[in-house]
Amino acid sequence: MTLKKKIISHNNFVRGRFKDDISQITADFTASLDIDRKLADFDIDGSIAHLYAIEKAGIVGKKEKKALEKALLKIKSEIESGELELNKKYEDIHMNVEKRLIELVPESGAKLHTGRSRNDQVSVDFRLYVRSRIKLIANALIDLRAVLASVAKSNIKAVIPGYTHFQHAQPVSLAHHFLAYYEMFTRDFERMMNAYKAADVLTLGSGALAGVDFDIDRRLEADILGFGNISRNSMDAVSDRDFALEFNFALSMTALHLSRFCEELIIWNSFEFGFIKIKDEFTTGSSIMPQKKNPDVLELIRGKTGGVISNLLSLFIMMKSLPLAYNRDMQEDKKPVMESADTVYNSLSIFKEIIKTLEFDKEKMRSGLKDDSIYATDVATYLVKKGVPFRKSHEIAGKIVSYAENTGKTLSTLSLKEYKKITGYIDEDIFSIFNPESSVNSKKTTGGTSFKEIAMVLKEYEKEIENNKKSIQALK
């Protein structure tokens, strides 16, 4: 049997050392094509970079390189159009591509894997995948932040009750509440950019674990694939999945932030709160209760967050006992990352649309402030301004709240006489503090809820978003 015949007659062409064919059950169990078919484009890009390097190393000639590159690009479009049927019997995407290449260009195709192992190949493919998904998601985060900033801008003057322990705490601007999430998504953006850096390392040239015996120009490969760095230890390179974990962590944090926001909006959307209305197109009906308009999308984003966090954990657990270098366990790394990347990207996209079209019931929000014990801290502050030490003023304000409660009154309906009975420090001007706007605007610190401060921070955000867009464009 000639070498050529042997290669193409085998179902699985890495079985030269075996007497028997692989059993069906083993083939099915070990195949990863269902998952790694998503790496097809990256696998071909990686192969092209490797092809240039093996040409430079003299392993294939110029003509062969041209023919192989053409064939690889043809395979790419065949996969995209569905023309090429990928087959599980070739185990994974890498071997499916190689198999087809050998079919198209038999002699030269069989040379492509010189100086390469599937271990460095899969690492580079996965890194390319992670980089591309990070770009998508970082962009989606920017879009969502821009929407949050614009909703905030139109609602600076809407005052709502702010909560701690889910109890009325102090009045805040609706914009301030929304921009708290802007900050979270900004940190998520930064985390994505850091995860990009972790993935931005070329690992081709590491071979199975020890490096390869040919003059592979790794700088050339890095330049072709746009990698900023080149790995420095081949054993680490083929077994490092930190980059996938970092990406998965960034995804989990993003999902967590989305989930908290969803929870809040679900509450705000309830009859009892009635702060917001979600556009019909993002809600669903009930099969039995005709009146229902359910915030299912928000519930699902919240629900899917559990899966995203589990994916992070499953990757950690899969990795935790692996000795150097590559182990087949690592084939299980792609599913949790790909699943979470899709979930978070889809969640961000639909969530942005919901926020964009949210209707606010300002009356309802304001009526939440009718419980004017929410001004108790402002009463304590009033007393401080009159010269009472804070701990003392806190105690007096507490007494006032309790007096109001016991007499069935509220802070703003107590008479000046009643106030004076409790403390001599209170004058007529006390009544001016029971007002949402003056409470909000009496906050003086940077990062506080005053209208002025929010307007200022919004200007900062505008610049920040522009800069963030530029930093994504600068990525390869």
Q: Which residues are catalytic?
A: 165, 286
By CB under 6 A, residue 123 contacts ligand ARG:
no
- Considering the complex, state which of residue 163 and residue 316 has its C-beta at the smaller distance from ligand ARG: 316
Which one of residues 42, 185, 326, 382 is an interface residue with ligand ARG (CB under 6 A)? 326
330 part of the interface to ligand ARG, by CB under 6 A: yes
Rule CB under 6 A: choose which of 17, 19, 320, 328 binds ligand ARG: 328
Tokens of 155: 């609602």
Cβ at position 14, least distance to ligand ARG in Å: 9
**Residue 141 engages ligand ARG in binding (rule: CB under 6 A):** no
What is the pairing mode between strands 229-230 and 276-277? unpaired
How distant is the alpha carbon of residue 23 from its chain centre?
A: 40
Q: Which stretch binds ligand ARG (CB under 6 A): 222-230, 262-270, 328-336, 383-391?
A: 328-336
118 binds ligand ARG (CB under 6 A): yes
Q: What is the chain's length? A: 476
Which residue among 102, 122, 144, 301 contacts ligand ARG (CB under 6 A)?
122
Nearer Cβ to ligand ARG, position 328 or 459? 328
- Of 122 and 297, CB closest to ligand ARG: 122
| Strand ranges in 145-282 using DSSP code E only, listed in sequence order | 159-164, 167-173, 201-202, 229-230, 276-277
How far is 431 from 429, CA to CA, in rounded Å?
Answer: 5
CB of 79 to ligand ARG, least distance (A): 17
Q: Rounded to whole angstroms, how far apart are CA atoms 147 and 41?
A: 32
Q: Are 3 and 89 in contact (CB under 8 A)?
A: no
CB 125 to ligand ARG: min, Å: 9
64 vs 8, 48, 215, CA distance in Å?
A: 19, 12, 18
The angle at the Cα of 299, spanning 256 to 346, to the nearest 5 degrees, equals 65
Q: Which of 148, 135, 136, 133 is nearest to 185 (CA)?
A: 148
Select the span of 1-9, 73-81, 304-312, 323-331 touching ligand ARG (CB under 6 A).
323-331
Residue type, 57: A
Phi-psi region of 278 (alpha: psi -120 to 50; beta: other; left: phi over 0): beta
Closest CB 122 distance from ligand ARG, rounded Å: 4
Can residue 45 be called a binding residue for ligand ARG (CB under 6 A)?
A: no
**Taking the complex as a whole, how short is the minimal distance between the CB of residue 255 and ligand ARG, in angstroms?**
25
Secondary structure element (H or E) that encloses residue 359, with its range: strand 359-360
Q: Which is nearer to ligand ARG, 30 or 410 (CB)?
A: 30
Closest to ligand ARG by CB, 118 vs 302, is 118
**d(Cα 310, Cα 158) in Å, to the nearest integer?**
38
Q: Which stretch binds ligand ARG (CB under 6 A): 3-11, 117-125, 143-151, 273-281?
A: 117-125
Nearest to 305 by CA among 293, 313, 317: 313
Pick the closer one to ligand ARG by CB: 26 or 407: 26
CB of residue 117 vs ligand ARG: minimum separation in angstroms?
A: 7
Cβ 240 to ligand ARG, closest distance in Å? 13
Closer CB to ligand ARG, residue 50 or residue 177? 50
**b (16+ CB within 10 A) / e for 214-224:** bebbbeebbeb
Site for ligand ARG contains 43 (CB under 6 A): no
Binders of ligand ARG among 5-34, rule CB under 6 A?
32
Name the residue nearer to ligand ARG (CB basis): 149 or 212: 212
If the CB atoms of residues 312 and 330 are measured against ligand ARG, the closer one turns out to be 330
Close Cβ partners of 184 (under 8 Å, ≥ 6 residues apart)? 257
Cis preceding linkage at 57, omega within 30: no
| Per CB under 6 A, 98 contacts ligand ARG | no
176 touches ligand ARG (CB under 6 A): no
Give yes or no for residue 119 binding ligand ARG (CB under 6 A). yes
> b/e for 60-76, b at 16 or more Cβ within 10 A?
beeebbebbbebbebbb
Helices vs strands, H then E, count in the chain: 20, 6
Count of chain residues binding ligand ARG (CB under 6 A) = 10
The number of angstroms, rounded, from the C-alpha of 51 to the middle of its chain's C-alpha atoms is 34
Pairing of strands 229-230, 359-360: unpaired
Give the interface with ligand ARG as residue ranges (CB under 6 A).
32, 36, 92, 118-119, 122, 326, 328, 330-331
